[in-house]
Structure 1
Amino acid sequence: MNGWTLAPSLGWIAGGVLTALLLAAAVCGPILRYRQRASYDASWLTVGRRSLIALVMALIVLTPSQVQTTRNQAVNATDVYVAVDVTGSMAVQDAHYGSQDTISRLDAAKRAVSDITQSYPDASFAAVRFGSSGTLDLPLTPDGRALGNWARNLTTEPTDLSAGSSLDAPLDPLVLSLKETKDRHPDDRIVLYLITDGEQTSAKSRRSFSTLRAYLDDAFTLGVGSAQGGKVPVSSRTPRQGAQTGAQDWVKDPATGQPGISKMDEGQLKAMADEMSGHYLPIDASHTLKDGPAVKTAQRYRVQVTHGERTRVTPCVWPLALILLALLAWEMVDWIRTSRRLL
């Protein structure tokens, strides 16, 4: 729907006062000319022209504008971020995923990533791997197979490169990528899945995950491992090195000299979920991502197309400006002719 309206550029208060003054000037000119017709120098034509100038200026102050109503279409897509812990403790064989079969924590994480991909068929995905540091391995992409390939190729970081588990390692790459996504696609819904055993062995205090809250619509921390824990195998840079010796080396506790025991820290996982205003989901023999609340939540985050109307007001004063310019030019020519006559 198109039409016209008045939209004073100075606002209705200032614009209204200025318009009233200009209208008063346009009316007072002819009145004074009529009352003082015996001694008034200006002709009726001149008075009429000057009143017309005041009227045109009043209209310009009121700013006639064209109203245009347009229909727009907004696409609300979903962006899923997955962050997976690859510290040495993720190689502990104490995890389960929907069965009594014991697998490594990292394998349980891989199965969870596969279920995440299936739960969001129309989403875009990004992946962060974190150990001693965090890395954005997979920038945001609509290709779910890329996320699956990334997860299948995950391995724990070598033990000699590890500086202890630091749960806040993914914060920096996540903040940078989430902010960029939010700026580029402000209408998108963003969901984060953080998969880890929750173990914090670094001497430094963990930073809060509350910094991510401004960018997320929902968040889940997935806990892999067990409260009983298990021994941490030594991860070498060459995976076949341990197989050649025929013996498995274990990461030793510096305090006792015995193989250290790594346990899932459910308290840390719940605290991280609370900081993001999200949810904690255990991954074990009776809980998987398929039968958990995350799948039900995923139903809400599907691509949605919404239609709406937008009203646009466009000022249109250039015709009045041309008329005013012509009247002022006429006034100047008349003033020059009168001045020459008086010389």
Structure 2
Amino acid sequence: MSATNLWQSITGTLSRLTFNPALGWPVGGLIAAVMIGLAVAAVIVHVRRTRAQTTDETTASCVVRVLLCVTVAVMALTPSIVSTTTSQAVNATDVVVAVDVTGSMAVADAQYGSAESMSRLDAAKRAVADITSLYADASFMGLRFGGSAGTVDVPLTPDARAINTWANTLAVEATNVSGGSSLDAPLDALLVNLKSIRESRPNDAIILYLITDGEETGSTTRRSYSTLRKYLNDGFTVGVGSTAGGKIPVIRDGSAVDGSWVTDPDTGQPGISKLDETTLKNIADEISGTYVAVNANATMANGVSQQRSQQWRVTTTVKQRTRTTPIVWPLAIVAAVLFAAQIGMWIVQSRRLL
């Protein structure tokens, strides 16, 4: 390597050098300050004793002590090299989240971990946030379904924030385009995508979360979810809403129209939508999964699957990530050498005093 290339390599490394205390800035900074203070004190004491001729300590011994204190101070600040990479270690767990956005999800009879009432869709959004936090470094897929079909909005990605952002932007479909609720609406999209995941990642653990109120108002018989079973390691149906139910607001441009309710054609009165736990339990059985109800006392915080993978794989992503790599070990070697030198000097000095 030429001198020019060596210099460029050194300057490039120094430009990426930073401090990132392993113990945190408060503790790391305190240790560094104490050690620098001891280094300064060692110099002052040595100079005073030398002038007063009250010490046999050599200048070399003082220098070694000062260097040892400075080295420990730098170690406490944990010097690190910052680099960018597109590689990411991902847990071999794939979590597919399907969220109901039919008109009944606007009913404000849901609760999530508190007595606060909210729409069923808002409870679903909180459930999604908890689900992503349960599976660190897993991959996620986001799918929404209305009255007739399911749509994959977020393809499988290790970016949990993308799923949370997607969930927060979900809106209930407009009343004038809703043709009733059919719980097999996402089935075709789920079947295609789960099959694709299983074929491309045969060793992954695939887990499905179906978040809905379980209401069926369609005129056709619901198809079975058992066709998904062979592609899943585990599955959950998540019920939002209450069995007492509530009136369905008219939805226009993604928002509820105040004082306007969807009417029941048989009675002419505002229709009442209720959480259908029986249907959700049946779907859970069809996928050999579990039904989970979220309410004032229960959230998804404990609804994690025991089937998640313990394996990891390295994947390449479009997004660049910053990686900080500590380089403390060279300083540890220096500190050990200095400490050994100090011990040796103390031994030599002690023999002289005998």
Normalising to structure 1: TM-score of the pair?
A: 0.63
Label 1:162 to 1:190 Cα distance change in 2 as closer, same or farther (>3 A): same
> Which string of whole-angstrom CA distances, capped at 9 and with x for unpartnered residues, describes residues 170-214 of structure 1?
101111011111111101010000000000000010000000001
Kindly provide the amino acid, as one letter, of the partner of residue 294 in structure 2: I
- The partner residue of 2:109 within 83, 90, 94 is 94
Partner Cα separation in structure 2 for residue 271 and residue 237 of structure 1: 33
Partner Cα separation in structure 1 for residue 260 and residue 312 of structure 2: 55
Q: Are 1:196 and 2:212 an aligned pair?
A: yes
Partner of 2:311: 304
Partner Cα separation in structure 2 for residue 238 and residue 223 of structure 1: 22
> Which string of whole-angstrom CA distances, capped at 9 and with x for unpartnered residues, describes residues 288-327 of structure 1?
111x3x23x35x5144259xxxxxxxxxxxxxxxxxxxxx
Label 1:238 to 1:172 Cα distance change in 2 as closer, same or farther (>3 A): closer
Give the deviation of 1:122 after TM superposition. Answer: 1.3
Partner of 2:292: 281
Determine if contact 1:122/1:302 at 8 Å carries over to the other structure.
no
Partner of 2:123: 108
| Number of equivalent positions | 223
Determine if contact 2:205/2:309 at 8 Å carries over to the other structure.
no
Determine if contact 1:80/1:126 at 8 Å carries over to the other structure.
yes
- The partner residue of 2:259 within 222, 233, 248 is 248
Structure 2 gap segments, 5+ residues each: 1-89, 314-354
Partner Cα separation in structure 2 for residue 302 and residue 248 of structure 1: 48
Kindly provide the amino acid, as one letter, of the partner of residue 153 in structure 2: D
Query: Which aligned pairs between 1:89-238 and structure 2 lie closer than 5 A?
Result: 89-132=104-147, 133-237=149-253
Partner of 1:84: 99
Query: Which aligned pairs between 1:259-274 and structure 2 lie closer than 5 A?
Result: 259-274=270-285
> Which string of whole-angstrom CA distances, capped at 9 and with x for unpartnered residues, describes residues 39-69 of structure 1?
xxxxxxxxxxxxxxxxxxxxxxxxxxxxxxx
Greater C-alpha Rg: 1
Equivalent position SS for 1:222:
strand
% identity of equivalent residues: 58
Partner Cα separation in structure 2 for residue 178 and residue 166 of structure 1: 20
Equivalent position SS for 2:260:
coil
Determine if contact 1:123/1:303 at 8 Å carries over to the other structure.
no
RMSD: 1.6
Partner Cα separation in structure 2 for residue 195 and residue 147 of structure 1: 14
Partner Cα separation in structure 1 for residue 211 and residue 204 of structure 2: 23
Kindly provide the amino acid, as one letter, of the partner of residue 301 in structure 1: R
> Which string of whole-angstrom CA distances, capped at 9 and with x for unpartnered residues, describes residues 97-154 of structure 1?
0111101100000000000010011110001100122111111011101100000000
Partner Cα separation in structure 2 for residue 303 and residue 233 of structure 1: 45
Equivalent position SS for 1:235:
strand
Give the deviation of 1:237 after TM superposition. Answer: 2.5
Determine if contact 2:207/2:235 at 8 Å carries over to the other structure.
yes
